[in-house]
Amino acid sequence: MLQKPKSVKLRALRSPRKFGVAGRSCQEVLRKGCLRFQLPERGSRLCLYEDGTELTEDYFPSVADNAELVLLTSGQAWQGWFRRVSQDSLTLLGSSCPPALAS
């Protein structure tokens, strides 16, 4: 457990709202997030918004202050904002790119 609380920005998967939450552990942030978004704590977990990495207690201290996290409930998945934008970009590029030249 951290000495000083870590501040993060937290969003739920299906919510446009974002909240600042502080906690000394991953579990504390998860608990506070579930209360704020009125979601069940059981089966819920935290992931990095950027790349979808799931947070553990061991990984939590290395997360940057003010990192953006996604709170997921049971059955939900998040691959990360970066991956999602990259896939959307490739899809858009694929539709406008000329066919490859035959060699």
Question: Domain of 37: which CATH number?
Answer: 3.10.20.10
Q: What residues form DSSP beta bridges with 6? A: 23
Domain count, the chain: 1
Domain span at residue 25?
11-82
The answer to whether residue 88 sits within a structural domain is: no
Rounded CA separation 3/53 (Å): 24
The answer to whether residue 30 sits within a structural domain is: yes
74-86 pLDDT tens trace: 999 998 875 544 4
Q: Stretch 40-53: mean pLDDT, rounded?
A: 95
- pLDDT given for residue 94 in this prediction: 52
Phi-psi region of 82 (alpha: psi -120 to 50; beta: other; left: phi over 0): alpha
In contact, 59 and 29? CB cutoff 8 Å: no
Q: Is the pLDDT of residue 48 over 90?
A: yes
> How does strand 6-12 pair with strand 18-23?
antiparallel
Residue 1: which pLDDT band, with cuts at 50, 70 and 90?
confident
The answer to whether residue 16 sits within a structural domain is: yes
Whether the pTM exceeds 0.75: the reply is yes
Q: Is the pLDDT of residue 96 over 80?
A: no
- Mean pLDDT in the chain? 84
Q: Stretch 4-32: mean pLDDT, rounded?
A: 95
> How does strand 18-23 pair with strand 68-72?
unpaired
The answer to whether residue 39 sits within a structural domain is: yes
